[in-house]
């Protein structure tokens, strides 16, 4: 499972002295534990058995991918902000962290594949204008979950519906 791989890689980075990878994976594991804690708190209202609660509060592979995608998105935004502010050295640091996180993401699909999926979904839903954008994006994102950035899907959808 992905969580075990993250823990194994974190331990390997500690042993090898890879400071950047150790820092990134440490922050990622903290985000994972935080998400599990939030999930546990939500489930504790309906599950009273401690063993069952612990089991149910573990993140699924999809939920782990969501956490990784969120952390990746934060780094991507930071890179853009640092570059806009003329801070290339900080942008490079964030980019290196983002690259480490991307190795744990599902394989990303190309813009052409996204465009094809959006066109297919527009035809399926009979979408005719920008007012249908939310329905199209929601449908596309459920099909390609974790394999494409929502911003890219949104941009392509808007372009095709105008």
**pLDDT for the residue numbered 147:** 82
CA distance readout (Å), 83 to 24, 71, 88: 20, 19, 6
What is the pLDDT averaged over residues 72-81?
94
CB 18 within 8 A of CB 10: no
- Over residues 130-142, the pLDDT tens digits come to 888 888 888 888 8
Residues 95 and 135 in one domain: no
The 3 state secondary structure assigned to 72-113 is HHHHHHHHHHHHHCCCHHHHHHHHHHHHHHHCCCCCCCCHHH
* Dist. CA 81–CA 63, nearest whole Å: 27
CA angle 66, 32, 102 (to 5 degrees): 50
119 & 154 share domain: yes
Global pTM?
0.78
The pLDDT of residue 116 is above 80: yes
Query: Which domain CATH number covers 21?
Result: 1.10.1510
Q: Are residues 78 and 19 in the same domain?
A: yes
Q: pLDDT averaged over the chain?
A: 90
Answer whether 46's CB lies under 8 Å from 78's CB. no
25 pLDDT exceeds 90? yes
Structure confidence at residue 47 (pLDDT):
80
Give the highest mean pLDDT range of 12-26, 44-58, 112-126.
12-26
Q: Using one digit for the tens of pLDDT, what is the confidence trace for 1-18?
A: 788 999 999 999 999 999
Report the number of distinct structural domains present in the chain: 2
> Domain of 157?
111-161
Per cent of the chain over pLDDT 70 is: 100
Q: Are residues 54 and 122 in the same domain?
A: no
Same domain, 67 and 138: no
What pLDDT is stored for residue 45 in this prediction? 82
pLDDT the model gives residue 79: 96
């Amino acid at each position: 499972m992905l969580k075990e791989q993250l823990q194994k890689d974190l331990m390997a980075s500690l042993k090898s002295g890879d400071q950047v990878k150790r820092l990134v994976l440490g922050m990622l594991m903290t985000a994972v534990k935080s998400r599990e804690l939030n999930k546990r708190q939500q489930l504790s209202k309906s599950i009273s058995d401690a063993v069952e609660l612990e089991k149910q509060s573990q993140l699924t592979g999809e939920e782990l991918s969501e956490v990784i995608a969120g952390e990746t998105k934060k780094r991507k935004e930071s890179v853009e902000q640092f570059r806009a502010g003329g801070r290339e050295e900080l942008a490079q640091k964030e980019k290196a962290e983002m690259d480490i996180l991307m190795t744990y993401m599902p394989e990303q699909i190309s813009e052409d594949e996204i465009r094809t999926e959006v066109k297919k979904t527009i035809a399926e839903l009979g979408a005719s204008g920008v007012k249908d954008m939310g329905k199209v994006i929601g449908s596309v994102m459920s099909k390609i979950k974790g394999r494409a950035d929502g911003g890219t899907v949104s941009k392509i959808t808007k372009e095709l519906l105008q």
